[in-house]
Amino acid sequence: MSAAQAGHADQADQTDQADGRQLARHALFGFIITFIAARTVVWLIMARRIPNMYFFLSGTHVHHLNYGIFLLAAVGAYVLFALPRGRALRIAALVYGVAMALTFDEFGMWLHLGGSYWQRASIDAVVVVAALLALIGFSAAMRRFESRHLVASVLIVIALVVFGVVLRDAAVRIGRVEGPRLEALEEASSP
């Protein structure tokens, strides 16, 4: 391989990495907006501030994690078989983020095969997925990591661990106070 070909291949690799980071940012945007919207709508329905828009099938509440699973399957098939490029790929990344939010917003329910919508495992999963998408979307390419990037990465990991411990402690304390009220609200909102 000539030096010109190697330079072109390296440039194409850098463009692919930049595109991957851009796609991760689109997915992160869809993920965060959808998570906030889902939590807001559920809270408003449970508080009876908006009409009950839940979908029931033969008396069974179809949770939005199911919509997310089907959407993930559709996006995966589209990306795999249609091989979209450009704008279509960016839209697919955005829809992927939407599907991930719908699914992981109820992570605790599929992890424990039931239970309350307000399980802490769901919030933990959302934080982890959002953090991973953010790291992919905004981090430097691994090949170009310098010592300052390594130091920043270690600090981020330490901060995430400390945040996780604090979040867990806060969630346990809030759960003791608000948990029974949220569970009663959830039970009262379903027919």
Which residues form the domain of 154? 3-189
Q: Which amino acid is at 129?
A: V
> How sure is the predictor about 8, in pLDDT bands with cuts at 50, 70 and 90?
very low
Strand partners, 55: 62
Q: How many domains does the chain have?
A: 1
Residue (of 145, 185, 149, 191) closest to 46 by Cα position: 185
CA 18, 88, 70, 43 torsion: positive or negative? positive
Which has more pLDDT, 180 or 173?
180
User: pLDDT (tens digit, 9 = 90+) per residue, 132-165?
Assistant: 898 888 876 666 767 777 787 788 778 777 766 7
* For the ranges 24-28, 53-57, 96-100, 113-117, the one whose mean pLDDT is highest: 96-100
Q: What is the value of pTM for the model shown?
A: 0.69
Average pLDDT of the residues in 39-43: 88
Report whether 105 contacts 71 (CB < 8 A). no
